[in-house]
Amino acid sequence: GDSWGIFTFLCAALCNLPALPALNCSEELGAGQSIQQTYDLTRYLEHQLRTLAGTYLNYLGPPFNEPDFNPPRLARAERVPSATVDLDLWRGLTDNARLAANYRAYSRLLCYLRVLDGQVGTAELRHRLAHFCASLQGLVLSIGGVMSSLGYPLPAGPAGPPAPPGAPAAPNDFLKKMDDFWLLKELQTWLWRSAKDFNRLKKKVPPSVVTLRLEARGF
C-alpha cells in the first residue's frame, strides 16, 4: 500500500545520499571582520595608553605630570606626526587616504616609542612600553590588512627613522622631556581619531558574509 511505497522511497533516497550534492556552510572573513578587529584593537590601545601615559608622565615629573600642563608645540616636536588636522578636512578624505595616513603615522610613532623604550631608566616602565609597542605593531599590521582586504595598496616606503641623519639631539633634559610629552599627546589624539574612523568604516562595509557552497559528490 501507500506505507510500503513511502518506505521504499526513503530507503532509495538514503542509499543514494553519497551521490547528492552536499550543502556546506562556511564563513569568509572579509573586510568587515578585519575592520571590526582593527577597531577593537584601537580601543584597546586607547585604554592601554591612558595607564601608560600617566605612569610615564609621573616618571618625567613636574610640570609634565600636572593636569593643567598644556605647553605650545615646539618646532622640534614637528617630527612627530601630528593629528591636529581640521576634522571636516579629515572626513573629506577618501577611505584610502585616511587609512594610508593612519598606517604611516603609526609606523613612525612606533619608531619613536621604540627609541623611548631604550632610554627609560626603570624596568617596570620598560616592560609597559615594550608591551604597548607590541600592541601598536599589531595595529600597524591590522591596518595593512584592512587596506589589502579593501583592495588598497600599502603606502610606499614605511616611516623612516625618528630623526633624519645629522638631526641634533635635544640640547637639554627639559626639551627631551618635552619631546616625550608631545609624542604621548599626539599618540592619544591619533588613537581617538582612528577609533572614530574605523567605527564609521565598519558601518559602511558589511560584516563577514556567510556563504553557501554546493560541493558535488559522485558526479
The residue among 162 and 198 whose pLDDT is bigger is 198
**Least-confidence region, from 7-16, 28-37, 183-192:** 7-16
- Residue 45 is predicted with a pLDDT of 97
Q: Are 146 and 31 in contact (CB under 8 A)?
A: yes
- Residue 168 is predicted with a pLDDT of 53
**Residue among 35, 23, 33, 37 at smallest CA distance from 211:** 23
The residue among 183 and 17 whose pLDDT is bigger is 183
The residue among 119 and 23 whose pLDDT is bigger is 119
Phi, psi of 162 (to 5 degrees): -55, -35
Does the structure show a pLDDT above 50 at 7?
A: no
How many C-beta atoms lie closer than 10 Å to residue 7's C-beta? 10
Q: Quick one: cell of 185? A: 599627546
Does the structure show a pLDDT above 70 at 14?
A: no
Q: What is the pLDDT of residues 181-209, one digit of tens each?
A: 989 999 999 999 999 999 999 888 876 54
Report which secondary-structure segment, H or E, holds 185: helix 173-204
pTM above 0.85, yes or no: no
Q: Are 159 and 108 in contact (CB under 8 A)?
A: yes
Residues of the chain with pLDDT > 70, as a percent, come to 71
**Least-confidence region, from 54-58, 68-72, 138-142:** 68-72
Q: What is the pLDDT of residues 70-101, one digit of tens each?
A: 887 776 666 777 777 788 888 889 999 999 99
Report the CATH fold assignment for 29-161+174-203. Answer: Growth Hormone; Chain: A; (1.20.1250)
- Residue 160 is predicted with a pLDDT of 46
- Number of residues that this document lists for the chain: 219
